[in-house]
Amino acid sequence: MNKKITALAFAGFAALALSACSGNKAPTEERTGAAGSAAKPAASASAGNCRSIPTPAPTKGRNDAYLCSASAALNSAEAKEVLDPAIRVSYGNVGANTLTSRQVANAVGKTPEETCQRAFLNTVKRFQTTAAQRGSKSVRVISYFDKKTVGGGQYECHIGTWNSRVVLKGNL
C-alpha cells in the first residue's frame, strides 16, 4: 500500500514537473496570462534597440540572445538616473589591462529591451563603482559574453526564465 502511494506521488510530481518545463519554449504566438491579459512575444525587441540573434546551442531552459545598442542604453533616461555623471563612460575597444563584470537584472514582466538595458546599466554601474574606488575618472567597456567581443556599438544580452545577463570587459 505504501509503495503504491509513493509511486502515485512520484508520477504526479513528474507530470507536474514536465508541464512546468513545457513553458520554457520560445513563444510562437501570444499567450494569455493568469490575469487574462495577452503577454508580449519575445521578438518584440527587434523593432527597437535590441534584435534577436540565434543562441549557440540548445539549452534545457530559456536562453534568448539579443544584440542591443549600447549608445541607446547609455543615453536613456534610466542611465541618467543610475549612472554617476562624474565618471565618464565610453563604449568600444579596450586596452590590455581589463576587468570583467557579469551582472543580471530581473526579467519578469519586462520587455527584452527593458531587461537587457537594466542588466547593461547594472554592469556599467559596477565598473563605475570600481573606478571610483581606484581613483579613475573614466570607464571604457565592451561586450564580452562567452569571452567574445561584439563590435558596432552593440552588447550581447541573454534572457533566461527569470533574469537577463550581460557580461562586459573594460578598463579604467
Q: Give the mean model confidence (pLDDT) for residues 58-71.
A: 87
| pTM beyond 0.85, yes or no | no
Q: Is beta strand 88-91 parallel, antiparallel or unpaired with respect to 138-143? A: parallel
Q: Give the mean model confidence (pLDDT) for residues 105-126.
A: 95
Block residue for cell numbers 550581460: 166
Alpha-carbon distance of 15 to 9, in angstroms, equals 10
Mean pLDDT (the chain) is 78
Alpha-carbon distance of 16 to 64, in angstroms, equals 24
Q: Is 153 helix (H, G, I), strand (E, B) or coil?
A: coil
Q: Give the mean model confidence (pLDDT) for residues 143-147.
A: 92
Block residue for cell numbers 550581447: 156
C-alpha cell at 20: 512546468
Q: What is the reported pLDDT for 12?
A: 47
CA 107-164-53 angle, to 5 degrees, is 115
Confidence band (pLDDT; 50, 70, 90) for 104? very high
C-alpha cell at 103: 551582472
Q: What is the reported pLDDT for 48?
A: 76
Q: What is the reported pLDDT for 29?
A: 30
The residue among 99, 115, 96 whose CA lies nearest residue 160 is 115
Alpha-carbon distance of 13 to 1, in angstroms, equals 18
Lowest mean pLDDT among 16-25, 41-50, 82-91, 99-108: 16-25
41: pLDDT strictly greater than 60: no
Exposed / middle / buried, residue 85 (Cβ in 10 Å: 0-12, 13-18, 19+)? exposed
